[in-house]
């Protein structure tokens, strides 16, 4: 099995390379990704965005394209940042800017209101048709300040309760075992293998 990942996010690419390696499947960056007109990820659900991305980019390649739409959902903020996780603090903002904005929104919230979950939907498509879609999530709590150096995005403020460490304090192997992305990817592979 071989996939090309339709993403320019280096954090996602690194995780997918490790996940594919552990699962014994081949995965690479889509070589012409940046030359293709970007898919407009404006749908209200992760599933629509993941499927839409996979369909769109698979029209520009003969390979099987893997797309991922993921993000952090905070019920106390009516689901924000949600599908807008990547652009939460504007189009040119950094991970630090997004974390600062989110922690600002969380100021004064109770422990219960700090509950959050990461969601990941993976979709694979070939020649404009979706073959499989799979999703999973990880439950956590938002910390009051960033902790840890590894990972990407909101990892330093996502306390993964099962291990009592933030995603950025987990080893790469640990994150891949427990993360929303790791679980969704493995589910996707088992669906493909069974079809």
Binding mask 89-118 for ligand IMP (x = CB under 6 A): -----------------------------x
Is there binding between residue 41 and ligand IMP (CB under 6 A)? yes
Is residue 40 flagged as an active site residue?
Answer: no
Query: Rg (Cα) of the chain, in Å, rounded?
Result: 16
The residue annotated as part of the active site, out of 22, 40, 68, 69, is 69
> The dihedral of CA 171, 176, 180, 181: what is its sign?
positive
Establish if 136 lies at the interface with ligand IMP (CB under 6 A): no
Peptide linkage before 81 cis (omega within 30 of 0) = yes
* Closest distance to ligand IMP from the beta carbon of 194 (Å): 26
Say how far apart CA 33 and CA 73 lie, in whole Å.
27
Told to check if 141 binds ligand IMP by CB under 6 A, we report no
Residue 152 lies near ligand IMP (rule: CB under 6 A): yes
Residue 86 within binding range of ligand IMP, rule CB under 6 A: yes
Evaluate whether 64 touches 130 at the Cβ level (below 8 Å). no
3-state secondary structure 150-176: CCCCCHHHEEECCCCEEHHHCCHHHHH
- Site residues, ligand IMP (CB under 6 A): 9, 41, 68-72, 85-86, 118, 151-155, 167, 179, 181
Known catalytic residues are 69
């Amino acid at each position: 099995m071989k996939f090309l990942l339709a993403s320019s996010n280096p954090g996602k690419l690194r995780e997918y390379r490790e996940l594919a390696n552990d699962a014994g499947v081949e995965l690479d960056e889509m070589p012409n990704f940046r030359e293709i007109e970007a898919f407009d990820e404006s749908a209200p659900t992760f599933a629509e965005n993941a499927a839409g991305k996979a369909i769109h980019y698979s029209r520009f390649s003969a390979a099987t394209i893997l797309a991922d739409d993921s993000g952090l959902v905070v019920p106390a903020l009516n689901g924000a940042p949600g599908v807008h996780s990547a652009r939460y603090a504007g189009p040119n903002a950094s991970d630090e800017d997004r974390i600062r904005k989110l922690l600002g929104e969380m100021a004064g919230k109770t422990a219960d209101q700090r509950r959050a979950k990461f969601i990941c939907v993976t979709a694979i498509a070939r020649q404009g048709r979706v073959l499989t879609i799979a999703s999973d999530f990880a439950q956590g709590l938002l910390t009051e300040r960033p902790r840890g150096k590894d990972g990407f995005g909101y990892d330093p403020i996502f306390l993964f309760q099962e291990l009592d460490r933030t995603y950025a304090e987990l080893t790469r192997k640990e994150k891949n075992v427990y993360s929303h992305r790791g679980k969704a990817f493995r589910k996707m592979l088992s669906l493909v293998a069974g079809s």
